[in-house]
Amino acid sequence: MDELLGWCVVANVAATDLKHFSPGTKLWVLPPQWGDGGQDVVVVGRHRGSPGPVSQMVVPRVHLTNFRVRGVYQPAVQRQLTKEVDRRVPRQWESQEEAERVAEWWARDAAIHAGVRRPLKRAEFYYRVPEVLPGNVLQQWAIQEVMNPKLSFELGEVFRDQQEVDAVRELRELLRNNEVWSVVGTAAEKIQALLIR
């Protein structure tokens, strides 16, 4: 029986444009290292076209999907997970529970990012929408973001389909006409539900 060496988040490459890994490649993903919430993550996996050992790289998390937690049993994988990055030993997952909590959060983000050319703009919009309601300290900036005339409604850019575009236009109209805030809140919730499906 192999010995459990630790717990790790595992994901698959979703993008076709990652230079070092093929789409579908299984990657072992370390926790956030630089205080950025894990926008860029240290991963360990088999390099594109290489039958050799696994290697360690840093990739944008937006290119990963299918996050889950697995035990690490292979010493070669564990060696790469603990290999220095920028002259520091990378932080490891403290527990299975921590890895599961973060994997759930990253899976939600992956659902938001999927299917558009500007996934980070889409995620920013998703998290900004509920802040349009009164009492939120960021309300002014949230309304500016929603009402931004440069916001692209071209399908596939930030929004996946016409239903999402129509919901955002409806919210903009409600904000323009200073509608009842409960109606605005309902419209904001509808947009979030559409963006994460």
pLDDT tens for 132-179 read: 988 889 999 999 999 999 999 999 999 999 999 999 999 999 998 876
- Does residue 1 have a pLDDT over 60? no
pLDDT on residue 159: 97
pLDDT in tens, 17-38: 678 888 899 999 999 987 777 8
Q: Which residues of 158-172 are buried (b: 16+ CB within 10 A; e: fewer)?
A: bbbeeebbebbeebb
Q: Is 143 helix (H, G, I), strand (E, B) or coil?
A: helix
Write the single-letter amino acid at 25: T
pTM of the model: 0.79
pLDDT on residue 136: 86
Q: How many CA atoms lie within 13 A of 79 on its CB side?
A: 6
Question: CA-CA distance, 126 to 164, in Å (whole number)?
Answer: 11
Copy the structure tokens of residue 85: 């990055």
67-76, 144-153, 184-193: the lowest-pLDDT one: 184-193
Residue pair 69/9 in contact by the 8 Å Cβ criterion:
yes
Write the single-letter amino acid at 172: R
Quote the distance between the C-alpha of residue 188 and its chain's center: 20
Question: CA-CA distance, 77 to 91, in Å (whole number)?
Answer: 15
Residue pair 126/110 in contact by the 8 Å Cβ criterion:
no
C-beta pairs of 36-44 under 8 Å, 24+ apart in sequence: 38/102, 38/106, 42/85, 42/90, 43/11, 44/77, 44/80, 44/81
Residue pair 21/59 in contact by the 8 Å Cβ criterion:
yes
pLDDT on residue 16: 65
pLDDT in tens, 96-119: 999 999 999 999 989 998 889 998
pLDDT on residue 143: 93
Q: Is 136 helix (H, G, I), strand (E, B) or coil?
A: coil
Mean pLDDT, the chain, rounded, equals 90
Neighbours of 176 (CB within 10 A): 9
Looking at per-residue pLDDT, the higher value among 34 and 56 belongs to 56
Mean pLDDT, to the nearest integer, of 184-192? 90
